[in-house]
Amino acid sequence: MTTYATRLEAADAAVSVLSSTQAVTDWSRRYFGPWWNAVDVAPESVCASPLVVADVDAQQYADAALAVTQAPHTSTTYAKAHTLVARDDAEGVITAVSPEEGLAYRSETANGRLAIVGCDTEPVAIAAARLAREAMRGVLLRSGWSVLHASAVALDGRVILAFGSKGAGKTTSAVALAARHGWELLANDRVFVRVNATGGVDVLPWPSAAALGLGLLDALGWFDVARERLEAGESLHPTQDQRVTDALVAGRREPLWDGKRELKAQVFPDQFPTWFGLDLATGGQAAALLFPRIEPGATPSLAGDGRTLSEGDFMSGKTEDRYPDVFELARVDGGGTAEARQEIARLLATLPHHSVVLGHDVEAAAAFLVKLTAG
């Protein structure tokens, strides 16, 4: 049986993904390649952990699922899916099953090997990429990195970090600078940060799909591009709500809502350069902090709220609700150690802080931000 392998590298961390289904390793290479160094390698060259082995086999899935349900187990939610988890502490093995997704997992905590088996290719490919990123996060966290809840752009190695709760304008600020003034997009929603030898704060991307509202797509001039790509048979990330796809194809540009939740397009990392012409950054050093707030009709301006970095701007075990460390891949707090976060916060506090109010005029917002953050 032919085996395929993709190796992911970021800073001093590396994770390999192996599968007998090429589409699984192709997915990881596509998803991580733009931001992390993701390349195909010879399977026989993969000898070190962490290692994610992911295959499509309905019978293996059924056997693994039965074993979990027959063993003492607990119930949790992982990646928005109901998941049953069984532990064998004597063997250092965690097994789990997500029936709705048709996925079973086996984590060997001592050697960093994680096996995934499922019934269909796409769920297996998505899970393999997700767990490879979690394994990479574990390596980075244990070597001193932390995770910030922020969007980021870079220019000539200078990184601007944009903070705020959901809907505050982090993504709008980042893509406005990248789309209009040549900044490189470094991250959409989270970043890895670590103190470097010179007393600065290095920044690495956290690869993920990006959620962009239909109104923002239109304001950026990207709506028609996305529509044409979809009509040509391409697709956005499979987590996207079908109503968003239907609206794009139909040419409906107004924001789409499901109650109080805005439904957004889910953009693959590699679609930023291939669809929208944005360059992606692979790292840099923090140079300034941005705290945006979106107000419809507002003229871009400084806000006088004195917003500064807080503990809530770091991801941690308490705030990491989507990807709790079910499989003990991190083995430290999900956002890094408390000591690392404190030192990073101290250094970031010395950088320029900009609290701003932005409207929906992307051109005006971009011009204001580029002037404000000029080095």
Q: What is the pLDDT of residue 321?
A: 62
Choose between 48 and 359: higher pLDDT: 359
pLDDT at residue 318 above 80? Answer: no
Q: Is residue 12 over pLDDT 90?
A: no
- The residues of the chain that CATH labels 3.40.50 are 146-209+268-372
> Does the pLDDT value for residue 129 go beyond 70?
yes
**In the predicted model, what is the mean pLDDT of residues 337-359?**
92
Q: Grade residue 210 by pLDDT with cuts at 50, 70 and 90.
A: very high
Going by their DSSP bridges, the two strands 81-88 and 93-98 should be labelled as antiparallel
pLDDT at 186 over 80: yes
What integer pLDDT is reported at residue 51 of this predicted model?
94
Per-residue pLDDT, averaged over 50-74, amounts to 96
Q: Is the pTM of this model over 0.95?
A: no
Identify the CA nearest to 333 among candidates 168, 140, 44, 66: 140
Counting every residue written for the chain, the total comes to: 375
CA 133 to chain centre: 8
Please give the pLDDT value at position 297: 86
User: Confidence class of residue 360 from pLDDT cuts 50, 70 and 90?
Assistant: confident
DSSP-H helix ranges across 220-290? 223-231, 242-250, 271-276
Return d(Cα 309, Cα 294) in angstroms, integer: 18
Report the CATH fold assignment for 146-209+268-372. Rossmann fold (3.40.50)
Reported confidence tier of residue 339, pLDDT bands at 50, 70, 90? confident
